[in-house]
A and B are shown apart, each in its own frame.
Chain A
Amino acid sequence: MTHGFVIDDDHCEGTMACMRTCPTHAIRVKDGKARLIPEQCIDCGSCLKACPTGAITAATLTFADLDRFKFKVAVPAPALFTQFARSDTPELVGRSLLQLGFDAVWEYAVDIELINRSIRDFVRRWNGPFPLISSSCPVVVRLVQVSYPTMVEQLIPIDAPREIAGREIKRVYSEKLKIPPEEIAAVYITPCQAKTISILQPAEEVKSHLDGSIGISEIYNDILFNIRRLESSKPGADDSAASRKIFRMGYPEGEFHNLSESHYLPLTGLTDIINVFDDIEKGKIRNIEFLECHACPGGCIGGNLTVENMYVARAKKLNLIASIPVPTKEYLLEVERRYVSEDLSLRAPLKPRALEDGKLDLHERVRRKKKSNELMTALPGLNCGLCGAPMCRDHAEDVAAGMADLKDCVFISKDRIQNLKKYYYR
């Protein structure tokens, strides 16, 4: 199973910051080094932010990876436009993307509108269990697959706008340029590493329509440099490609202001989302039809590959939304045309993620459950983490599964502290 980041052993000092912050308890710190349990990881990137030594880095594309394509199209996440000063308009940002070597910048607003519409219709028609959960944030999808398997059918089975955009880009440009779709790259400019993973390895186990992604933080400086240069130069020949018509946006991705307010809850931040999901499990949240969930606090503008302070970015976003021009006739016609002609649903059903011990029979699982319950009485319940597992419960389960030694607990074995000194007194 691929994940969106790499733990560099040479830089890892075993601080356990990642282990303590991981919402799905997917990290253990053994012998002073962090280890990932891939089946439990939902690519939220919390560990990346928490690591004080910078040992965890996001794996995204570089420009060199794109050289094999004849024609490169950028699909900028709306969050990109919030990263620059108020006077740095989406047009300028788009033009500077062209300067960076992209052959075109995609009019993403149409795809976003298509998906918004499709989700609105889906919510109205749905007669299964509520609330439905938005599936545009890959972390939320993976969280449900790993931690809330019974809620998987509540994830809206409609594709993300970026995927729909990728498909349309291949169609439009291969027709226009008379080249095979394989020679066209659709590249998402991403605010987070989770979307990179959703492209490398979609949760519904199909092949992505996108060819990769580049983190906003990776090209921020280049874009800024180009913006300053473009500002001082006269509008050039690239203008037609990046005219005002293309950038009638700043449209937030996956936000549904026009759904009924009383039945709609927007949630951001993984901690809050987990609290709400737990309340749903307890039957405490009723009369809510739709949960729009973004794992990053503040939504995609708070993504771990963004640069601008989230609150400043939010101010810019509100400003962009307020200045969205009245939709042009061409835009509306394009939305209509594509809405009736395209299938916007996910290409395969989402399923709960099979955990590593998936092959075990019920007897063995029951044995482990009983064993870990029994071990819990021997552990202090302090969740100090010194055994290398985030909580005593995790340690008990690891021991029951034969993956850890009960004596790693400092309360059970006095030698443990002496052992740990090797790694932490340097």
Chain B
Amino acid sequence: MTELLRQCFAIQGRNFDKAGEISSEIKVILRDLGIEAAYTRRVVIVAFEAEMNVVMYAQSGTLTFIVTEDAINLIIDDVGPGIPDINLALQEGYSTASDEMREMGFGFGMGLPNMKKNSDEFRVESVVGKGTTVYATVRHHENA
């Protein structure tokens, strides 16, 4: 599908103060593009969880946001510890979050599962010790 718009955002690891700003920026772009609220909500859930994962676990990362005619694609690429067992990480409730992260209200093991649930296509690639890349595609659902 023809790519209509592509924007790239840098995410800083461990910066909880700035966490959430990229997904909130994406929300504004989608609003300006006249994307329906329910559709936007799904995209933003994926973007937010992805952004939080990078902030919580990685040193740095980028979020690429691509609008095509029939879908919105998100590619989140980080430099970080990587995920040893992707299938395990995709299970609801599985979490490696530290107590500190939990105290801040994160790390309930819903991040990746929640991203998957809100995507139409979802793929995780990871190399332990190097980093993780998440590809998510969210499509417009008529009856969403």
Contacts and interface: CB of A to CB of B under 8 A. Distances in A.
Contacts of B32: 365, 369, 397
A274 to B, nearest CB: 13
Contacts of B21: 282
Contacts of B29: 369
Interface stretch (B36-44, B115-123, B131-139): B36-44
Nearest to A279: B20
Interface size range of chain B in the complex? 20 to 34
Contacts, number: 54
A150 B5 contact: no
B69 A362 contact: yes
Contacts of A358: 34
Nearest to A281: B24
Interface in A144-188: 149-150, 152-153
- Which of B31, B40, B67: most chain A CB closer than 10 A? B31
A362 B4 contact: yes
A363 B67 CA distance: 10
B34 A282 contact: no
Given A362-B69, A369-B5, A352 B20 contact: no
Contact of A282 (B23, B41, B67): B23
Given A150-B44, A282-B20, A365 B27 contact: no
Interface of B: 4-5, 19-21, 23-24, 27, 29, 31-34, 37, 40-41, 44, 48, 52, 67, 69, 105
Given A153-B37, A286-B105, A365-B32, 14 more contacts: A150-B40, A281-B20, A281-B27, A282-B20, A283-B23, A352-B37, A362-B4, A362-B33, A362-B34, A362-B69, A365-B33, A366-B5, A369-B29, A369-B32
5 closest A-B pairs by beta carbon, nearest first, are A282-B20, A281-B24, A366-B4, A149-B37, A283-B20
